């Protein structure tokens, strides 16, 4: 086998991002050479047959290209400015939550629950029976369906004729058996109708070929990696001080997101010095562990947008906002009166804005109104089937790590930087959108690793016909097995001070997390890009910009 190069493959993948009319200005396309890839490796780090390692290096490079242009636009740099992307660092990006620690304690340690605020209001993480709803189950017609507990498992349990809580089966295998006994009484199409009728997340596990044969698959595969709509042209160009000090200093971002993909967007934008206020509510459940990673650079407040007091505070923040990141179900924020059309009326061209929408299925297409999560995107797009077959199984298996979540999150950061570049250059307001399914569609389109390389990788990670991982292996099991194997094989990465950084005396404790991947000196660094250390949701009391 010829020597494999993650750098060369990443460069090719970067060029592929410009296919299907990527909505960027000409100077972005012309600036591909402004990024430098470092840390080549003969074997990719992430134990999956798909080129996830290189996909994140390529996307981080695209982020860097646009950041370089923003840098020049803001600071008037005439000298060469380059973005540097460490490919191995980029590959670790989607493993963030498996690497981060609080006072030396990792995510999967039971003691972690004492370090974080409990926002699991509906016990979808703490109750094993309810947690096991999120898994792949066999159906009556011998197909596979991925159910999801979402943030409240009760509607799906009840729709399947199962008790919402079952303490007699509050153990993994017993819970899975009980749930599969129900799914095997129904065809996959029947389950899908049930899930759609109750407006919950779930998907039939499709192969890549089946996805592309669907109307939604055909639509998504023909679209660029992110969408951009020019909402209005009358508002003036965005004005940013040439004193900075960072590329997004002074840019005000409202983060209306939960769990992974949405918060990743604003966390990465915060790396460039943006002011980010994350708005959550005491009334809404969340996965609080992810706040340890994703609230870096942010202030966090709780507001009830259904109350008059909460709306007044929120609308005060809107008076100065530059970017709104929306990660809720399609249409949820618009129903509260704060969607892009509502903001157009509110600002009436007096000031521009960028509205960023992150979703599972993307814009347009048959399934665009459906809610979804990482595992659902993996199932519907063919990723789970590709992973299962690469493991020597004839069943879909969840991939290691929340790849689609981080992929969509990174695309959201890129899309936001791009829309801000439009505002700086042309003025106006913009709607931009990204989806988990589109990231997966692009990843699948790039094909698997060469067979000989994958055999080497699978053997090194203990995946060659081991049968250790199956469709019944849940998200945490697959991720923990992968990160354990990666740490065993590449111990030097965990000793590299450029890849991780520590924040001491945060509200959580001493937090170790990944440092920013893209380096553009001196305008973005691992130490001075973020304005705030991480904190729990609702930590700050004042709903105002600082």
For the segment 522-530, the average pLDDT, to the nearest whole number, is: 70
Return the ∠ at Cα 70 (arms to 259 and 258), rounded to 5°.
10
Q: Kindly report the pTM of this predicted structure.
A: 0.97
Q: Residues near 258 by Cβ (< 8 Å), separated by ≥ 6?
A: 151, 280, 284, 286, 287, 327, 328
Residue 342 clears pLDDT 80, i.e. is over it: yes
Q: Residues near 205 by Cβ (< 8 Å), separated by ≥ 6?
A: 136, 143, 144, 145, 146, 379, 380, 384, 385, 396
For the segment 509-529, the average pLDDT, to the nearest whole number, is: 83
Instruction: Calculate the dihedral angle through the C-alpha atoms of 15, 18, 19, 25, rounding to the nearest 10 degrees.
Output: -150
- In the chain, the percentage of residues whose pLDDT exceeds 90 is 85
Residue 522: predicted pLDDT: 81
Q: Residues near 511 by Cβ (< 8 Å), separated by ≥ 6?
A: 100, 101, 102, 292, 502, 503, 533, 534
From the number of C-beta atoms within 10 Å of its C-beta (0-12, 13-18, 19+), residue 117 rates as middle
Residue 468: predicted pLDDT: 83
Q: Residues near 516 by Cβ (< 8 Å), separated by ≥ 6?
A: 268, 271, 524, 525, 526, 529
pLDDT tens profile 100-144 = 999 999 888 889 988 888 888 999 989 999 999 999 999 999 999
* Residue 261 CB coordination number (10 Å): 30
For the segment 168-180, the average pLDDT, to the nearest whole number, is: 95
For the segment 291-303, the average pLDDT, to the nearest whole number, is: 95
pLDDT tens profile 436-483 = 999 999 999 999 999 999 999 999 999 976 668 999 998 889 999 999
Residue 320 clears pLDDT 90, i.e. is over it: yes
Residue 237: predicted pLDDT: 96
Phi, psi of 527 (to 5 degrees): -100, -30
Residue 189: predicted pLDDT: 97
Phi-psi group of 79: left, alpha or beta (phi > 0 → left; psi -120 to 50 → alpha; rest → beta): beta
Q: Residues near 487 by Cβ (< 8 Å), separated by ≥ 6?
A: 494
All structural domains of the chain: 6-121+210-519 (3.40.50.10540), 128-209 (3.30.1540.10)
Residue 465: predicted pLDDT: 66
pLDDT tens profile 10-66 = 999 999 999 989 999 999 999 999 999 999 988 999 999 999 999 999 999 999 999
Residue 77 clears pLDDT 90, i.e. is over it: no
pLDDT tens profile 86-110 = 999 999 999 999 999 999 998 888 8
How far is residue 149's CA from residue 106's CA, in Å, rounded to a whole number?
24
- In the chain, the percentage of residues whose pLDDT exceeds 70 is 98
Q: What mean pLDDT, rounded, does the chain reach? A: 94
Residue 527: predicted pLDDT: 56
Residue 380 clears pLDDT 60, i.e. is over it: yes
Q: How far is C-alpha 8 from the chain's CA centre?
A: 25
For the segment 238-266, the average pLDDT, to the nearest whole number, is: 95
Residue 78: predicted pLDDT: 72
| Lookup: tokens for 34 | 């402004």
Residue 1: predicted pLDDT: 47
Phi, psi of 419 (to 5 degrees): -65, -35
Residue 81: predicted pLDDT: 87
For the segment 337-360, the average pLDDT, to the nearest whole number, is: 96
pLDDT tens profile 193-240 = 999 999 999 999 999 999 999 999 999 999 999 999 999 999 999 999
């Amino acid at each position: 086998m010829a020597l494999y190069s993650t750098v060369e493959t990443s460069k090719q993948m970067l060029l592929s991002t410009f296919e299907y009319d990527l909505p960027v200005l000409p100077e972005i396309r012309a600036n591909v050479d402004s990024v430098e890839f470092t840390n080549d490796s003969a074997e990719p780090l992430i134990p999956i047959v798909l080129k996830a390692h290189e996909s994140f290096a390529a996307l981080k490079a695209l982020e860097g290209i646009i950041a370089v242009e923003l840098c020049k636009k803001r600071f008037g740099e005439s000298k060469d400015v380059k973005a540097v992307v460490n490919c191995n660092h980029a590959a670790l990006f989607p493993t963030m939550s498996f690497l981060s620690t609080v006072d030396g304690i990792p995510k999967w340690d039971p003691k972690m629950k004492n370090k974080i605020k409990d926002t699991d209001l509906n016990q979808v993480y703490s109750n094993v029976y309810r947690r096991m709803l999120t898994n792949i189950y066999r159906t009556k017609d011998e197909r596979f369906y991925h159910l999801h507990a979402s943030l409240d498992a009760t509607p799906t349990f009840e729709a399947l004729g199962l008790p919402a809580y079952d303490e007699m089966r509050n153990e993994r295998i017993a819970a899975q058996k009980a749930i599969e006994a129900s799914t095997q009484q129904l065809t996959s199409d029947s389950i899908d109708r049930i899930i759609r009728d109750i407006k919950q997340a779930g998907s039939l596990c499709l192969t890549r070929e089946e996805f592309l044969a669907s109307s939604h698959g055909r639509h998504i595969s023909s679209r660029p990696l992110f969408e951009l709509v020019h909402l209005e042209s009358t508002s003036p160009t965005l004005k940013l001080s040439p004193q900075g000090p960072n590329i997004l200093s002074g840019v005000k971002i409202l983060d209306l997101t939960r769990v992974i993909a949405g918060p990743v967007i604003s966390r990465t934008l915060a790396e460039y010095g943006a002011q980010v206020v994350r708005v959550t509510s005491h009334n809404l459940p969340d996965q609080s562990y992810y706040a340890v990673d994703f609230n870096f650079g942010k202030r966090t407040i709780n507001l009830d947008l259904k109350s008059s007091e909460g709306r007044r505070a929120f609308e005060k923040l809107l008076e100065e906002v530059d970017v709104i990141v929306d990660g809720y179900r399609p249409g949820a924020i618009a129903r509260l009166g704060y969607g892009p059309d509502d903001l157009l009326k509110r600002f009436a061209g007096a000031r521009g804005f960028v509205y960023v929408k992150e979703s599972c299925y993307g814009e347009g297409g048959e399934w665009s109104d459906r809610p979804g999560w990482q595992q659902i995107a993996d199932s519907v797009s063919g990723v789970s089937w590709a992973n299962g077959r690469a493991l020597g199984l004839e069943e879909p298996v969840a991939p290691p790590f929340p790849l689609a979540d981080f992929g969509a999150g990174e695309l959201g950061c890129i899309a936001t930087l791009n829309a801000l570049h439009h505002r700086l250059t042309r003025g106006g307001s913009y709607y931009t959108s990204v989806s988990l399914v589109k990231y997966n569609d692009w990843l699948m389109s790039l094909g698997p690793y060469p067979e000989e390389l994958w055999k080497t990788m699978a053997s090194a990670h203990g995946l060659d016909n081991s049968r250790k991982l199956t469709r019944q292996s849940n998200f945490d099991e697959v991720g923990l097995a992968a990160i354990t194997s990666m740490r065993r094989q590449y111990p030097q990465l965990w000793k590299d001070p450029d890849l991780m950084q520590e924040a001491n005396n945060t509200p959580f404790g001493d937090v170790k997390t990944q440092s920013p991947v893209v380096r553009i000196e001196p305008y973005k660094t691992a130490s001075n890009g973020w304005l705030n250390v991480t904190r729990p949701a609702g930590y700050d009391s004042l709903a105002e910009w600082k």
